[in-house]
A and B are shown apart, each in its own frame.
Chain A
């Protein structure tokens, strides 16, 4: 299995609080992605990175920011969590080969 780890795996947070999800890879892949999975929508791209400090918005980027200061780490931040951000979040990596996914983080905003 590809070396990709998401943390935390589960989190419950209150509305209005900041939340950071971490994705760590050991494959030295160039591309990293954050998706969210919601019923009826499949997975939708939030943000992606094509290198250190090179990031871009995806389809559902509002309310989210990302940072990539090292090749191996890609952070997703919810500046002020809202109930609509309750979801399962997946990190993925690729190097112009097959995309590999992390185990997902279930985030609940109450």
Chain B
């Protein structure tokens, strides 16, 4: 079975600085999808960024980018120019098929200091 590990229960960053959240996963498959979800205090699950395993290029969405290392099974999220609104729980997730049957990590709480 696939597993996803987030080794940082909590992280802090100064406003306008850059922070990187770590995620590793375990799978024997060669094709899969990886996601980062944001969960603010409202509890809503918000998709931040996604990566298809067959793509070598790292995904980027505005201030959010990933460092996808397929051989190392590592998928980290970099948040640049951190804003107060970035404070939330962040989940890394894996899926064999896009959007289906997600396997989540335990989450990382991100605190942003002003």
B100 contacts which of A31, A42, A59, A90 (Cβ < 8 Å)?
A: A31
Cα–Cα, bound, A19→B102 (Å): 25
A88 with B102: CB separation less than 8 A: no
A74 at interface by CB-CB < 8 Å: no
Nearest residue, chain B, Cβ from A42: B104
Is A65 an interface position by the 8 A CB rule? no
Contacts of B6 in A (CB 8 A): 42
Contact in complex: B99, A97 (CB < 8 Å): yes
A-B contacts, 16 listed (Cβ < 8 Å): A35-B104, A40-B106, A42-B4, A42-B6, A42-B104, A42-B106, A45-B101, A48-B101, A92-B45, A96-B98, A97-B99, A99-B95, A99-B100, A99-B102, A101-B44, A103-B44
Return chain A residues, CB-CB under 8 Å to B93: 43
Contact of A96 among B45, B47, B99 (CB under 8 A): B99
In the assembled complex, A22 has its CB within 8 A of some CB on chain B = no
Docked complex Cα distance between A34 and B45 (Å) = 14
Q: List the A residue with the shortest CB-CB distance to B106.
A: A42
Candidate in B43, B44, B50 with the most chain A CB atoms within 10 angstroms: B43
Chain B residue nearest to A101 in the complex (CB):
B45
Q: Which residues of B contact A35 (CB under 8 A)?
A: 102, 104
Residue in B43, B44, B45, B104 whose beta carbon sits within 8 Å of that of A44 in the complex: B104
Distance between Cα atoms of A103 and B45 in the complex (Å):
8
Contact A104 B43 (CB under 8 A): yes
